Structure 1
């Protein structure tokens, strides 16, 4: 459990590093490369309006612009509800968090942003030492007008978990492991599915059925992408199968990204019991 525990410690600490931009000073020493927790590597700029359900979680005490305040990704799943990772919000109060919607570019210009979060629901069985059940739901104070949402797949996801399948991941995480700046434009990347047997060779403590593994050398999510969606196109709709959770390093050979699986029993039950819809 040693490596898993160390990754979990970083999950709690990495958000303090994320707000740095190229103009921020002084510089902060990056964590060791093998301890980085969800950046999109190997991706490209998304088109404006391509992923209208993407949400930037903003820690309001961190800076004076959306770019500096960005901490994690999230997904608008109904006008009043946002899906993200538990490790993104388990240490923050509703009044100190905002869910910024309809963003493509994170503005670097100073601007005030107030909290629009009514409540944060972290999975009751979330384990910060292993990042099992790394899922949370955020309820907004008011529904997003004319919301464009993504679907969530809470059962029968096995048809998508096959060799050769690729998933789409989006986020504002850093695009270079050696960089200390987040991009301003939303990034998107196609990550290949990694079967459990292969993934468990990299992560022997991984619990079967609780996660989806995806990524390859040079293609991965990473620091700043936590909480964002792992998704496919299903019946003409973007459909979320998991949330960006953790990984050992980013885009390294033999070390795929790990995503909290929404269809696993405890996670599915939590979402169904908590999410009231609109």
Structure 2
């Protein structure tokens, strides 16, 4: 998962191409690499909610809806293409045709996310997203997971980083809308291909909770900023129907 973070967005026909955003103001330098440094390969069934979206990552929050970054899918409306959910290698798992997307209408600066609806029910168990205003899991070691540009699904521990510390490397960090994690060297940490993957914490019951959407760092050599779902949970849920689809 260690690759250069570049602001990219390509959506053409049935092709989805995504890359990890550097953020609205941070200048990012290309850095080569292949996966999370110090990360581990996921075991079958460990993250059944994670989706391979070609060159970015996503995660299922209902039986029909996947969250990713807006760089991956920057538009709203009908959409074509296929993603793969629940596998541990690229193009593995449940193949799901896409039907609809909603990119954050307020723009990336107000939350780097897009919601995508798939045609058929997702077989794996979706991950719960943290409730609005619940920052109780902003501590300790979190978990980042994503596909990157190499086949295996990788994951790693990411220590929570207070905003003041994070701003030494990401000065434009929005402490209201972003949560920071990782280490100052970026090792281990997410990079190109990993955007849209979840930043996860364990609930008191021991289940995964998505507290962020992996979004940006500086050249894969810094702390990582994720869109903070505790600041966006209510808004995201407002786009979901009772049966877990997207509102048209």
TM over 0.5: yes
1:150 aligns with 2:148: no
Q: Distance in 1 between matches of 2:175 and 2:195?
A: 21
TM (norm. structure 1) is: 0.71
User: Cα distance, 1:49 vs. partner?
Assistant: 1.2
Pairwise mapping of residues 1-278 of structure 1 onto structure 2 (< 5 A)? 10-12=7-9, 34-35=29-30, 39-57=35-53, 70-90=54-74, 94-107=78-91, 116-127=97-108, 131-145=109-123, 147-162=124-139, 165-173=140-148, 182-216=149-183, 217=185, 218-234=187-203, 235-250=205-220, 252=221, 255-264=222-231, 267-278=232-243
Instruction: Give the structure with the larger strand fraction.
Output: 2
User: Cα distance, 1:78 vs. partner?
Assistant: 1.2
Q: Distance in 2 between matches of 1:156 and 1:92?
A: 26
Q: CA RMSD in A?
A: 2.9
SS at match of 2:61: strand
The answer to whether the Cα contact below 8 Å between 2:18 and 2:193 also exists between their aligned partners in 1 is no
Task: Give 1:21's aligned residue.
Answer: none
Change (3 A) 1:74 1:123: same
* Runs of 4+ off more than 3 Å: 15-18, 91-96
User: Cα distance, 1:16 vs. partner?
Assistant: 6.1
Structure 2, gaps ≥5 residues long: 11-15, 20-26, 244-248
Change (3 A) 1:118 1:171: same
User: Cα distance, 1:191 vs. partner?
Assistant: 0.8
Change (3 A) 1:157 1:40: farther
Q: Deviations over 1:129-176 (max 9, x none)?
A: xx441011111122124x3111100334322223xx111111111xxx
Change (3 A) 1:277 1:153: farther
Structure 1, gaps ≥5 residues long: 1-6, 19-31, 58-69, 174-181
User: Cα distance, 1:34 vs. partner?
Assistant: 2.5
Greater Cα radius of gyration, structure 1 or 2: 1
Q: Distance in 2 between matches of 1:114 and 1:104?
A: 13
Q: Distance in 2 between matches of 1:273 and 1:155?
A: 12
Q: Deviations over 1:111-133 (max 9, x none)?
A: xx986111101011123xxx441
| Aligned pairs, number | 222
Q: Distance in 1 between matches of 2:89 and 2:51?
A: 11
Change (3 A) 1:193 1:17: closer
Instruction: Give the structure with the larger helix fraction.
Output: 1
Task: Give 1:63's aligned residue.
Answer: none
Q: Distance in 1 between matches of 2:106 and 2:31?
A: 23
User: Cα distance, 1:76 vs. partner?
Assistant: 1.1
